[in-house]
Amino acid sequence: MKKFLGLLLAVFILFSPALTKDKKTTPYSFDAQAAWTYIKDLSTDEMQGRKSGQPSGVWGEEYIASKFKEWGLEPAGDNGTYFQNFTIEHRHIAEGVQFEIVTEKERRDFYYGEDWRVQRYSGSGHFTAEIVFVGYGIHAPAKDFDEYAGLDVEGKVVMFVDGSPQKLSRKLGDAANTRNKIEAARKLGARAIIVFRPTPGQGRFYGIGVDKELYDPDFVILSIEDNVTDFIFKDLKTETRYLFREIDDKGKPQSFETGVKAFISLNSYFDEKRPTRNVLAKITGSDRTLKDEYVVIGGHMDHLGVSPLGDVYNGANDNASGTAVVMEIARVMKLNKARPKRTVIFACWAGEEQGLLGSRYYCDHPPYPVERTIAYINMDMVGHGSGNVPFRGEYYSPEIWKLLEKKLPKEILKYTIPGRGGPGGSDHTPFLGKGVPAYAVMTEGYHFKYHRPGDDIDLIKPEILKRVGDLVHASVEILASEPGDLILPMRRETYYLKYQDLTNFKFEPLDHVTASHGDAKDSHVDLQLAVVEEKEGLSGDELRVDIINTLFDMTEEMKKFKGLTLYSPSRSVSMNSRQGRTTVMLGLKGIDALRDNPKWARVLAEGLYFVVADDLSFLFGEGGLTEEGKTFLKGVNSSSLLLLVKGLDSAQTKLLLEESKKPVVFLEEELPDKEILELIKEKEYALGLILSADEEPAAYVRKLEEAKEAIGASCLMIVNENCLWGTAGKGQMLKVISEMLKNEEKYGRRDFSDLFSSTFLRVLRMARGGGAQTSFSY
Ligand SMILES: [Zn+2]
């Protein structure tokens, strides 16, 4: 037997191609078995699920750093270490939680995650206490509604529902906020809150939004499902449905001490500044200048830890797999004494599962400038699947994919599928936000046991790791050694331009739009406003019939164009743009069709969404609206058409603001006076600040910021005069974005989106609110 094995080995050695070649010319390649072993080490039960901020997170960090050290990779973290230190907001529920309800007759234990949950920012507790029913949990004696009146809740558990009695909601105002309810319960001495649903049978109840300022280490906040509520009320001579009907109808509290007890035992922590670390290693570039440029590859090493019930989330696929591929590429490159021109950074991120915290920290505090980072490749969940490897990010950085497509070996390209990509889901997101071309790799196919116990090493297929490893390894080598300048100008601005849903306010006739942009797939223009123009010389019914005919022809014509989709209220602009299509919304240019008969506005609104009016002088007479003006406004207000007006003076604007019952968009080159701004804000209408064809971007953004200060981004929109499909318009908009990013801190999370499209869509919805809800069927 031994002899036979020896013979087999000899034959193997003789014919093994890898060993017969000259060692010096054969670089080592990605070893899938080795990568599999790192995954195995990282995903044993002893690793306890690698949760950042927990000891288990530290074990993962130490393991990876020790391997980097063993292989001789250069440390790329703080002070010559492999670690980039930072703190995270950390929440944790320790293993071993208990919740029981004790009635006079029986005691029942409830199952965590199915029957009840610990709410965010809950504290800890181990006690038995009586449950007091307090309805909506509102304590507003000053407003004559106190659901705690006459009750002693000191040391007890209060139970209430979200919201407030509808009839009283106006009167109660802030007192009905979750925040104030929780504070009231705590101030009155309650030990815990349990929230539940007033009417059973509405599916799972995940609870309420608690904010972190409410955290108190000794104050417990739980949510319960219907079956627990039922059990609490089982032996009581009343029901929740009845109680809430009484509160709602009579506006009187129905609170009472239930006599039922809760036994609660849990340890729940919140730490605003829990230390954790990214693990970073590097290979310094060999080129004198290019070594100050960077290629980063990474994946998150953290996972979900241990559940309150004691289940370990091993996270073999998510994301020991991506981590292991990063590690193995680092090992192989070092072993091959790779001398890339640019510096390569190998990153294992902490805190991804708690909100992309590690990669975000790196991008906000980059040890190596993100402006000089030519690309980032992220791997998250790459351990099994069909065998195809999607490589997503092409829409945002086509130039990087083009380069790789040209240079990657054919056998790798065979299974690599380029994809549109974009932010969301994993650690490539913060890089995109900084303008770094960032690609996301996640293997194709069903990912078993996602965020569940059972995501274990036995799911991991080495042959899949090999494909991912070869692809990313080859890509890194190409990107790190490609000569020339790979950093495109205005790449961060370009990302914003592409990522935001951008509206093109160049009101062109539809045939114009289709002729020039019909087959444009994946344009940065997401919403194109197109118009039907009123034909000169026509009036009255003749004109209206002509408009309807044009509309029919146009919508028929639209079907031919793959890159364009007609707007419909049931499909969002972003949904279309994620599929690479520009949404086209039709409106009417001119107002003659609406001057003499208000009924027609509703008919036209079946296919048209807005009216652009640049001459509304007929509306205004001495001391108010003219008869014709009233007719016109009545028509527009009774339809769902959104009115966009231009060229009104201040008195006319004011009058229109007062008289119109539906939102109006005021298109202006300069900021209107204060009183008008206040009226726009108060009525939640909108100001479209015109970006003129030759306007200086810096001056425009100053105006924009002033307007935003006055009315907020949700009432403001950027209205371009140049066509955004063209070079001039696109270039001007990029410069506007650039100016905005100079004062980045002035723009909140939603502001860009409001200014580019959301404000417009909001007022459009408002205009449609009272009008025809049906959509035109083509
Ligand atoms: Zn993941």
Per-residue pLDDT reduced to its tens digit, 319-349: 999 999 999 999 999 999 999 999 999 999 9
User: So what's the pLDDT on residue 707?
Assistant: 97
What is the distance between the alpha carbons of residues 271 and 217, in angstroms, rounded to a whole number?
Answer: 10
Ligand 1 center–CA 60 separation, angstroms: 15
CA of 356 to the centre of ligand 1 (A): 9
- For 284-342, list the strands marked E by DSSP: 294-300
Two tokens at 314?
A: 């091993």
291-305, 389-403, 529-543, 652-666: least confident range? 529-543
Q: Is the peptide bond before 319 cis (omega within 30 degrees of 0)?
A: yes
Read out DSSP for 176-216? GSHHHHHHHHHHTT-SEEEEE-SSS-SS--------GGG--
Q: Helix (H, G, I), strand (E, B), or coil: what is residue 494?
A: helix
Ligand 1 centre to CA of 201 (Å) is 33
- Phi and psi at 86, nearest 5°, equal -160, 175
* CA 95 to centroid of ligand 1, rounded, Å: 22
Between the CA of 49 and the centroid of ligand 1 the distance, in Å, is 12
CA 461–ligand 1 middle distance (angstroms): 17
Q: How far is CA 691 from the centre of its chain?
A: 28
Measure 107 CA to ligand 1 centroid, in angstroms: 40
Q: Is the pLDDT of residue 14 over 60?
A: no
Residue 25 confidence (pLDDT): 61
CA end-to-end distance (rounded Å), the chain: 79
366 CA distance to ligand 1 middle (Å): 22
Q: Find the 426 Cα to ligand 1 centroid distance in Å.
A: 7
158 vs 165: CA distance, rounded Å: 18
Query: How far apart are alpha carbons 75 and 283 in whole angstroms?
Result: 9
pLDDT single digits (tens) 575-588: 999 999 999 999 99
- 587/589 Cα distance (integer angstroms): 7
Average model confidence (pLDDT) for the chain?
A: 92
Q: What is the pLDDT of residue 79?
A: 97
Amino acid letter at 670?
E
Q: Read off the pLDDT of each residue in 510-521 and give the average, rounded to a whole number.
A: 83
Ligand 1: distance of its center to the CA of 380 in Å? 5
Q: Tell whether the model's pLDDT for residue 17 goes beyond 70.
A: no
Query: Which is nearest to 224 in space by CA: 200, 246, 180, 194?
Result: 194
Any idea which residue has 């014709």 for tokens? 628
What spacing in Å lies between the alpha carbon of 209 and ligand 1's midpoint? 24
List, for residues 409-438, the tens digit of each pLDDT value: 999 999 999 999 999 999 999 999 999 999
166: CA distance to ligand 1 center in Å?
Answer: 42
pLDDT in tens, 358-381: 999 999 999 999 999 999 999 999
Helix (H) or strand (E) holding 587: strand 582-589
Distance 325 CA to ligand 1 centre (A): 14
Least confident window among 24-33, 451-460, 717-726: 24-33
Q: Which amino acid is at 329?
A: I
Is the predicted pLDDT of residue 11 greater than 80, yes or no? Answer: no
pLDDT digits over 52-77, tens only? 999 999 999 999 999 999 999 999 99
What pLDDT band is residue 180 in, cutting at 50, 70 and 90? very high
Residue 247 CA to residue 165 CA, distance in Å, equals 7
Is the confidence at residue 506, as pLDDT, over 50?
yes
Tracing tokens 């192989």 back to the chain, one arrives at 332
Ligand 1 centroid vs 180 CA: distance in angstroms?
36
Residue 474 Cα, ligand 1 centroid: separation in angstroms?
Answer: 23
Longest dimension (CA), the chain: 113
What tokens were used for 422? 């974009």
Distance from Cα 497 to the centre of ligand 1, integer Å: 28
**Separation between Cα atoms, residue 555 and residue 548, nearest integer Å:** 11
Ligand 1 midpoint to CA 301 (Å): 9
Enumerate residues 6+ apart whose C-beta is below 8 A from 632.
591, 594, 595, 598, 618, 619
Taking the centre of ligand 1 as the mean of its atom positions, its distance from the CA of residue 278, in whole angstroms, is 15
Among left, alpha and beta (phi > 0; psi -120 to 50; other), residue 666 is beta
| Cα-to-centroid distance, 300 and ligand 1 (Å) | 7
Residue type, 151: L
pTM over 0.85: yes
Q: How far is the CA of 427 from the centre of ligand 1 (A)?
A: 9
Cβ-based neighbour number of residue 437 at 10 Å:
27
Q: Is the pLDDT of residue 773 over 50?
A: no
Residue 353 Cα, ligand 1 centroid: separation in angstroms?
7
State the Cα–Cα distance between residues 192 and 114, nearest whole angstrom. 20
For residue 294, how far is its CA from the centre of ligand 1 (angstroms)? Answer: 24
Provide the H-helix boundaries in 79-125.
none
Q: Where are the beta strands (DSSP E) in 304-409?
A: 343-349, 373-379, 389-392
Residue 51: CB partners within 8 Å, gap ≥ 6? 57, 92, 302, 303, 304, 305, 306, 353
Quickly count: other Cβ atoms within 10 Å of residue 107's Cβ. Answer: 10
Q: In the prediction, which pLDDT does 642 show?
A: 95
Q: Count CB neighbours of 704 within 10 A.
A: 22
Measured in Å, residue 760 CA sits from the centre of ligand 1 at: 35
Contact call for residues 221 and 119 (beta carbons, < 8 A): yes
Is residue 201 exposed (0-12), middle (13-18) or buried (19+ Cβ within 10 Å)? exposed
- pLDDT score at 669: 95
Determine the 3-state secondary structure of 606 from DSSP: coil
Q: DSSP code of 318?
A: I
Q: How confident is the model at residue 770 (pLDDT cuts 50, 70, 90)?
A: very low
Rounded Cα distance, 365 and 367, in Å: 6
- Structure confidence at residue 88 as a pLDDT band (50, 70, 90): very high
CA 468–ligand 1 middle distance (angstroms): 16
Q: Measured in angstroms, how far is the CA atom of residue 660 from the centroid of ligand 1?
A: 51
CA of 140 to the centre of ligand 1 (A): 45
- For residue 336, the CA-to-ligand 1 centroid distance in Å is 30
The vertex-563 CA angle with 640 and 715, nearest 5°, equals: 40
- Using CA atoms, how far apart are residues 593 and 605, in angstroms rounded to an integer? 12
Confidence of residue 719 (pLDDT cuts 50, 70, 90): very high
- What's the CA-to-centroid distance between 745 and ligand 1, angstroms? 29
